[in-house]
Chains A and B, each alone.
Chain A
Amino acid sequence: MELLRVENCRKSFDGEEILKGISLSVNEGEVVSVIGPSGSGKSTFLRCACMLETMDGGFLAYAGKFAAKEENGKVVYAPHVELKEIRKTYGLVFQNFNLFPHYTVLKNVVEPQMIAGKTREEAEKKALECLEKLGLSDKAKNYPCQLSGGQQQRVSIARALALEPKVLFFDEPTSALDPELTGEVLKVIRDLAALHMTMIIVTHEMNFAREVSDRMIFMENGVIRAEGKPDDLFNSDDERLKSFMGKLSGN
């Protein structure tokens, strides 16, 4: 089943076209990584897909329900009520976590569920379950500022998972972490992939991406320059792709 469909997504900032027509279709259970040099528009694309930015052109649908489409050269979004429903189908894990600092870890995971209509008991049960799965049971009563970056990112993943999204987006989930802390977060994402969670991951961790993805996308200057199975991309003779991969593995 197709969970996400983006067609010809275009986006400009201050008259400069950042996304020049990006299309992507993701099926249930698929893991897709998005790689590419910094400034190529990866975050902007993710933010358009998550509707944190409005597209200037293109089509967007989740699980067959249209969220945005182009009419007479203008993008029209679905009515507010429908967008609210559509937003429930996906979650987003941010580069810098964006946990709520004034809430405990537990409340960070509980409150969004209650806003979605669950009772406190249901929400707490689910939250404790998610925290346990991510090895954070003993941190439930702590505040985000008392946790390491890796722990904070795992809380933010727990917070997203507790809402049971069908699709989970990650925007460079380990870029804000000290190198020794990236492993614990990557492990969590690997475990999710093993459980066939549908994920779209922007990352610079090439080995991780190769290992975890069903499909990889190489973005450059606002277009998809290459797309395919990880091995195809790693063995590609595209000069730009080769030089990009070379630079990263050279680090």
Chain B
Amino acid sequence: MSLDVIFLKLMSGMGVTVSIFLLTLLFSIPLGLPITLARMSKNKVLSALSGIYISVMRGTPLMLQIIVIYFLPFYGFGINVTAGYRFIAVIIAFSLNYAAYFAEIYRSGIQSIPRGQYEAALILGYSNTQTFIRIVMPQMFKRVLPAMTNEIITLVKDTSLSFAIATAEMFTMAKQIAAKEASLMPLMAAGVFYYIFNFIVAIICKKVEKHFDYYKI
């Protein structure tokens, strides 16, 4: 295999890796919110269910979750999946898993908002929903940005776990080529890619945190 073919293959894997990363964030960041709300709900059943969900998602390997979600339609319901399901299964597993982590981060963020903010809002005539959306949520996001940055950087590296079901992302490609060519070079190249990717992600996260520096809590 010539170098430019190797490079092209890695490139296509890169695209898949970036897609997994972006789609996971797109779904898990919003999904974390209802999970937190359920967790913090006064309804004991709802709170317990959410608690179990979070603890299972955080207490079992993500790789196992990916494999289970990939094979569930067939072993669970006897449905034959199409080739495209591989990618979908990865996105579902990552989104569900990261939503649990984000939910816990949001919860600590919400709990750190002083009581006085709620009390002022109540006295000023805000409803509970208005208080949450206008007062609590924006401040929560600012407070949790550093913790979210950590999680997002972990996600860049975690995308490689989808090799478990042979998704055509960067790491899977690099591993295949390395085996075929008996060379470490493709894996090195992949390593460089992950490093640069993370570097860029960290810069963007810092920029977002900076953007919210216009006020202090």
Interface residues of A (CB under 8 A from B): 50, 52, 84, 87-88, 91-92, 94, 96, 98-102, 111-112, 115-116, 143-145, 159-160, 163
Contact B142 A87 (CB under 8 A): no
B215 at the interface (CB under 8 A from A): yes
Majority-rule SS of A interface residues: loop
Contact A84 B125 (CB under 8 A): yes
Q: How far is the CB of B13 from chain A (nearest CB, A)?
A: 41
A-B contact count (CB 8 A): 53
Contact B215 A145 (CB under 8 A): yes
Check A102/B138 contact, CB under 8 A, given A52-B119, A145-B216: yes
Chain A's closest residue to B142 (CB) is A102
Chain A residues contacting B135 (CB-CB under 8 Å) are 100
Chain A residues contacting B124 (CB-CB under 8 Å) are 91, 112, 115, 159-160, 163
Contact B123 A143 (CB under 8 A): no
Chain B residues contacting A102 (CB-CB under 8 Å) are 138-139, 142, 215, 217
A92–B124 Cα gap in the complex (Å)?
Answer: 9
Which has the most chain A C-beta neighbours within 10 Å: B125, B130, B138, B139?
B125
Contact B125 A112 (CB under 8 A): yes
Interface residues of B, count at CB 8 A: 20
Chain B residues contacting A50 (CB-CB under 8 Å) are 123
Chain A's closest residue to B217 (CB) is A101
Contact B130 A115 (CB under 8 A): yes
A111–B123 Cα gap in the complex (Å)?
Answer: 13
Check A94/B216 contact, CB under 8 A, given A88-B125, A115-B126: no
Q: How far is the CB of A200 from chain B (nearest CB, A)?
A: 14
Chain A residues contacting B134 (CB-CB under 8 Å) are 111
Contacts A112-B125, A116-B125 aside, 13 further interface pairs with beta carbons under 8 A come to: A52-B119, A87-B125, A91-B123, A91-B124, A94-B116, A101-B139, A101-B215, A101-B217, A102-B138, A115-B124, A143-B214, A145-B215, A159-B124
